[in-house]
Chain A
Amino acid sequence: MIDQHFLALLVVVPLLASPLCLLLPNGRLPWLLATAVAWVVFALAVFGVFRVYGDGPVSYWMGGWQPPWGIEYRLDALNALVVLIVAAIGAVVVPFAGRSVPAEVDGANIAGFYAAFLLALCGLLGIAVTGDVFNLFVFLEISSLASYTLISQGRNRRALVSAYQYLIFGTIGATFLLIGIGLLYAMTGTLNMADLARRLAEVEQTRTVFTGFAFIVVGAAIKLALFPLHLWLPNAYTHAPSVVSAFLAATATKVAVYVLLRFTFTVFGLEFSFGAAPLSLILATLAVAAILVGSVSAVTQNNVKRLLAYSSVAQIGYMVVAIAMVTALGLTAATLHLFNHALMKGALFLALGCVVYRMGGADMDSLRGLGRKMPLTMAAFVVAGLSLIGVPLTAGFISKWYLVLAAIELGWWPIVAVVLVGSLLAAIYIWRVVEVAYFREADDPARSEAPWSLLAPTWLLALANIYFGLDARLPVSLAESAASVMLGGAP
């Protein structure tokens, strides 16, 4: 039963749990349900990864309709990794929400909050597993609408404006994607990804296909917050409740990167995307700008959440520049960073969540002296911060190492320089936080560590950063097979 249906269950379980949540009274019950669902989903995702690596790609026909007529769910090495990231972060973040959400979200909205959270989870997983481009659009909108709702739940009134801005940006992005899908459908008469890839080869050199390609790339770029379309991201991450920032920062942009990868490599094929269309140069240029602008903006921020949000813009730049290389090593670096960045940003935002839980804010002032007040929290922050900089023995080092190797292999020396400058800037902005936390006196130096229910998930992710820095075999082998799928090899 599980063996046959796990792909459908991956999406259906959170989808059906969401209305159930709405039926439960506000309080701890919705949280318990969400926790159970997140863990079930994680178990299914782990199972799926084993299946894909054991027996190759898995295909599921929704409603028993044969593709390309029916909707196909398909899991291969590339999206198995994305599913694993989303499910794992979900499973870690929901337990954290148990203490953090009641402190930050209006008590009357708790059930609705978890319903929206499960919908977001369902949407993100759905984007990852579906093999149908229109279905992808629908899941993209499900996850986006749920994220707008989640972001608007922040205590500060600016959360509302941030959610609204994100809604406008996100809807334009998704509609661009819809236009592109429509143009592809007009040319080929199919929506199934594998079928599209076959049929597009015949009509590739038409203006319609180029236009569709442009719409899809721009739409995906808005969703993944590629510079200069990143303007929605800093506000959204800053004003959202801590759990939501951690979850979205670690998963939403990763899934959008996956959408870009899926369309450029699987649907259009790399000869078209990077041969006929000058995508490589465009992506590399924008990514370099993202790394530099994002890092410099992060250095000047006074609010640590906003600082991390700008750092996310820069980190997305690393992934995109690695994609632009279109080599096996470059794509491995990109997918590896997808995985590692989820770990470090998850840990950093969760550590900040602990700070917000105790101090009520995340600006530099409220972090003064926290090195002594909340030693465990700040230690987790430092560990994840080191990983973000790319210090050896952390996960961040592994992905930067692959990125630099890939750039050297191609002789892209300016990229190597940009990566080094970006890491230096990361060291500066993380140091600013460390300095305030460890070398400034707090007004009230009494020790007030966060409760263990918040610390445990934070440290779990922080330790994962070290573990995957010491023993990177698992993510590297996952990333390598994902890269070979994209380049057209067997998974």
Chain B
Amino acid sequence: MSLLFEHYNYWVAIFLMMTGFYTVISRGNLVKQVVGLNIFQASVFIFYISLAYVDGGATPIVKEGVEVYANPLPHVLILTAIVVGIATTALGLALIVRIKEAYGTIEEDEIREADQRDGKDSDA
């Protein structure tokens, strides 16, 4: 039981991670895949942030009378990772918009059918 409760932050991260990963793999809709990818990434962010917590630690801003601070480094790292995540999401959605314009659909199986209909001629 202690394994379950003492490290509950890891369980949350793992649950979110698997949810996101499963969504990416199982869904045929491209937007849903991007949503899944976002959940997947967010789980890693939460994992990092929960690493930074120090028992009884204060916000890492220098203040008089405070001895123990939380570790600020993971926050900084994750800020960078969030920026990367935003860029990935924006690029993914931009590609989806272009795919929708080119194919008229954002369902993976319909795109595959359209490609097969084109045959090998357009395989350039």
In the complex, are there CB atoms of A and B closer than 8 Å? Answer: yes
| A residues adjacent to B (C-beta < 8 A) | 134, 137-138, 141, 145, 148-149, 152, 155-158, 160-161, 163-164, 167-168, 171-172, 175, 178-179, 182, 185-186, 238-239, 302-303, 305-306, 356, 360-363
Closest CB-CB distance, B12 to chain A, in whole Å?
14
| B residues adjacent to A (C-beta < 8 A) | 21, 24, 30, 33, 37, 40-41, 44, 47-48, 51, 74, 77, 80-81, 84, 87-88, 91-92, 95-96, 98-99, 102-103, 111, 115, 120-124
Of A149, A305, A306, which contacts B91 at CB under 8 A? A149
Given A134-B77, A145-B91, A148-B91, the answer on whether A178 and B44 have CB atoms closer than 8 Å is yes
Which residues of B lie under 8 Å from residue A157 when comparing CB positions? 99, 102-103
What's the A-B contact tally at a CB cutoff of 8 Å?
87
Given A145-B87, A160-B98, the answer on whether A182 and B120 have CB atoms closer than 8 Å is no
Which residues of B lie under 8 Å from residue A155 when comparing CB positions? 124
In the bound complex, CA of A37 to CA of B103 (Å): 37
Chain B binding surface, main DSSP class: helix
In the bound complex, CA of A171 to CA of B93 (Å): 14
Q: By the criterion CB–CB under 8 Å, are B51 and A164 in contact?
A: no
Residue of B nearest to A364 (CB): B120
Q: By the criterion CB–CB under 8 Å, are A164 and B124 in contact?
A: no
In the bound complex, CA of A363 to CA of B103 (Å): 23
Q: By the criterion CB–CB under 8 Å, are A302 and B44 in contact?
A: no
Q: By the criterion CB–CB under 8 Å, are B51 and A238 in contact?
A: no
Q: By the criterion CB–CB under 8 Å, are B123 and A306 in contact?
A: yes
Q: By the criterion CB–CB under 8 Å, are A302 and B120 in contact?
A: yes
In the bound complex, CA of A239 to CA of B37 (Å): 24
Q: By the criterion CB–CB under 8 Å, are B81 and A167 in contact?
A: no
Closest CB-CB distance, B75 to chain A, in whole Å?
13
Q: By the criterion CB–CB under 8 Å, are B98 and A152 in contact?
A: yes
Closest CB-CB distance, B96 to chain A, in whole Å?
7
Chain A binding surface, main DSSP class: helix
In the bound complex, CA of A273 to CA of B54 (Å): 31
Q: By the criterion CB–CB under 8 Å, are B37 and A182 in contact?
A: no
Given A157-B103, A172-B40, the answer on whether A152 and B95 have CB atoms closer than 8 Å is yes
Known: A164-B95, A171-B37, A172-B37; 8 extra A-B contacts, CB below 8 A, are A138-B80, A156-B122, A157-B102, A160-B98, A182-B51, A303-B120, A362-B124, A363-B120
Which residues of B lie under 8 Å from residue A171 when comparing CB positions? 37, 41, 88
Q: By the criterion CB–CB under 8 Å, are A186 and B51 in contact?
A: yes
Of B47, B80, B95, which contacts A160 at CB under 8 A? B95
Residue of A nearest to B112 (CB): A161
| Selected A-B contacts with CB under 8 Å, 9 pairs | A137-B81, A145-B91, A152-B95, A158-B123, A161-B115, A163-B95, A172-B40, A175-B41, A178-B44
Which residues of A lie under 8 Å from residue B44 when comparing CB positions? 175, 178-179, 182
Residue of B nearest to A238 (CB): B123
Q: By the criterion CB–CB under 8 Å, are B33 and A168 in contact?
A: yes
Residue of B nearest to A158 (CB): B115
In the bound complex, CA of A148 to CA of B94 (Å): 11
In the bound complex, CA of A145 to CA of B87 (Å): 8
In the bound complex, CA of A178 to CA of B96 (Å): 25
Of B102, B122, B123, which contacts A302 at CB under 8 A? B123
Given A149-B91, A306-B123, the answer on whether A160 and B84 have CB atoms closer than 8 Å is no
Closest CB-CB distance, A150 to chain B, in whole Å?
12
Closest CB-CB distance, B88 to chain A, in whole Å?
5
Residue of A nearest to B41 (CB): A175
Of A148, A164, A303, which contacts B123 at CB under 8 A? A303
Closest CB-CB distance, A262 to chain B, in whole Å?
19
In the bound complex, CA of A164 to CA of B102 (Å): 13
Which residues of A lie under 8 Å from residue B77 when comparing CB positions? 134
Q: By the criterion CB–CB under 8 Å, are B91 and A167 in contact?
A: yes
Which residues of A lie under 8 Å from residue B91 when comparing CB positions? 145, 148-149, 167
In the bound complex, CA of A66 to CA of B109 (Å): 53
Q: By the criterion CB–CB under 8 Å, are A164 and B96 in contact?
A: yes
In the bound complex, CA of A302 to CA of B33 (Å): 31
Which residues of A lie under 8 Å from residue B33 when comparing CB positions? 168
Which residues of B lie under 8 Å from residue A134 when comparing CB positions? 77, 80
Q: By the criterion CB–CB under 8 Å, are B124 and A156 in contact?
A: yes
Closest CB-CB distance, B17 to chain A, in whole Å?
8
Closest CB-CB distance, A352 to chain B, in whole Å?
11
